[in-house]
Amino acid sequence: MNARQTFFRLLLVLLFFVSPAAPLLKVGPGAGVARAASRTPARARRGMVASTDRTASRVGVDVMKRGGNAVDAAIAVAFALAVTYPAAGNLGGGGFMMIRLRDGRTTAIDYREMAPAAAHRDVYLDERGELKKGEGGSLVGYRASGVPGTVAGMELALKKYGSGKLSWAQLVEPARRLAAEGFPVSYGLARSLRANAKDLGLYPETKRIHLNGGRFYEEGQVWRQPELAATFTRMQRLGAREFYEGRTARLIADDMRAHGGLMTLEDLKGYVAKERVPVRTTYRGFEVISMPPPSSGGAVLIEMLNILEGFDLRNMGASASERYHAQTEAMRRAFADRAEYMGDADFVKVPVAGLIDKSYAERLRRGISMSRASTSAEVKAGRPAGAESEETTHFTVVDAEGNCVSNTYTLNDGYGSKVVMKGTGILMNDEMDDFAAKPGTPNMFGLIQGERNAVAPRKRPLSAMTPTFVLRKDGTLWFAVGSPGGPTIINTVLQVITNVIDFDMNIQQAVDAPRIHHQWLPDEIVYEPYGMSADTFRALESLGHRLTQRPRYMGDAHGIMIEEGTGVRLGASDSRNYGESAGY
């Protein structure tokens, strides 16, 4: 590099560091304010996959190169993650898929888990009416699982919205091959398995498969999963219903029965994925489309966006205490409504139309003072008209034709219930904890949930998953995004959207920028390590906010933006994790 090139490179770096559009990253109380560069988004002319795992992203790209569309690619990615990202990728869990076709049609596929028929309101309470802990409770063991929906959801998506060029068996094949032939264990996966060794070691089958019999997997070691490969082979030969009615279903039901689980063969046979109508709003003229109940994500996101639309965030500044204050107050009010009103709309009345109405947001906004913080004791659920683990994972796919998938799915807690069903290689979910096992008592995320989300047979637990599309003012797709993170999912998506629209960040900058989180109760702001200047911290405290004493990183967002003018796909995988976007 010559002197002239060196000078201009240093000049560009300097300009970025002082640019108002550059994100303020990882600056904590007690540290000086500094701006850190975000890597540039991945670029591709035709198709792009943004996920938490490099291998899975490349599986999706390969499907598109062979003529598949975004839905085909998403199915292959979902199954590949069940092998390479076992903390959340799954066959034994469920989730939500948002699909937007090139002609503008948009739909939502709900493949959330369902409670077994034997479940009931007090199934996780002991004789004193207290929540059961450990085995027999809603977090660990055979009784913690809802009936998995992932396989049925992928089948529904393929039948209705696949390209027709690739078969079910072809889309399952990359995952089967990864399970049978193995893949090199990454540094992150090796660390994750070790970190969860105590719980994964509780069950012999799980210990044998995921902990290498107690010897652990080292970085670079090839991990083969023959039982899981056999399950994929049966699904290839006999179709998706094999999982729910064939040998795989019988193996699951037999193992559940042998260990006192709730799930039966009839529960598996009765599972159904559903297509639902997305929820929508506009934010500063841009249309936002997201997931309806039983996910709370879309409605709560829209309620917060509607509140924030009345504040001039751009003039406040991306990292200003005023922005964080306004966001916190919007989060507080929307999460109070979440606790009161949200549940499975097939079972209870959820006033979605009222919650996402802009006039309702205006009423809530009038109760926000910019000179002092509210308290969650004084902020209760409002009166609208008609009145998840953080080890979820999200991926986004855009194909050459402009079809897009935004998909979030999970086992709930990292590695779900920690139970592998004998003979299947399938790690099961612990989604029953996403019900209000005891309404009014916090779940594993500290969320308070009401009677609308109480346990009931065949009911779907409430979720925070928020796969979302944002359209340009001409109605074309601008970007799609989603994240894991339990209740922080909704606030992660909120902040990515406002980072782009209010602060002109590109998709990678918007994903990498520091985040805050407030969920009504407990009444505190959670922030990220090095993510807030000391002055901002003190300013928020002076307004009356309480900030957590234990900052932590939140979310693992993955998004794709369509570059204006060129149509280039810009892929962003969160720098907080090991993900990687891939395109062609």
- Tokens 């159904």 sit at which residue? 272
- Complete DSSP assignment for 292-307: -TTBSHHHHHHHHHHH
- Tokens 């049925």 sit at which residue? 152
Kind and range of the H or E element at 393? strand 393-398
Kind and range of the H or E element at 537? helix 534-542
441 is catalytic: no
CA separation for the pair 120, 130 (Å, rounded): 15
CA separation for the pair 431, 449 (Å, rounded): 14
CA separation for the pair 584, 304 (Å, rounded): 36
Whether the Cβ atoms of residue 278 and residue 107 lie closer than 8 Å to each other: yes
Active-site annotation holder among 84, 248, 392, 536: 392
Residues 6+ apart with CB under 8 A from 115: 146, 147, 432, 435, 455, 456, 457, 458, 459, 460, 461
Q: Characterize the bridge pairing of strands 94-100 and 420-421.
A: unpaired
What Cα–Cα distance (Å) separates residue 55 from each residue in 87, 276, 365? Answer: 15, 31, 45
Q: Which residues pair with 42 in a beta bridge?
A: 571
Phi, psi of 4 (to 5 degrees): -65, -45
What Cα–Cα distance (Å) separates residue 331 from each residue in 84, 209, 323, 371, 501? Answer: 34, 41, 12, 17, 18
CA separation for the pair 393, 416 (Å, rounded): 12
Q: Which two tokens stand for residue 367?
A: 């109760």
- Tokens 């042998």 sit at which residue? 258
Catalytic residues: 392
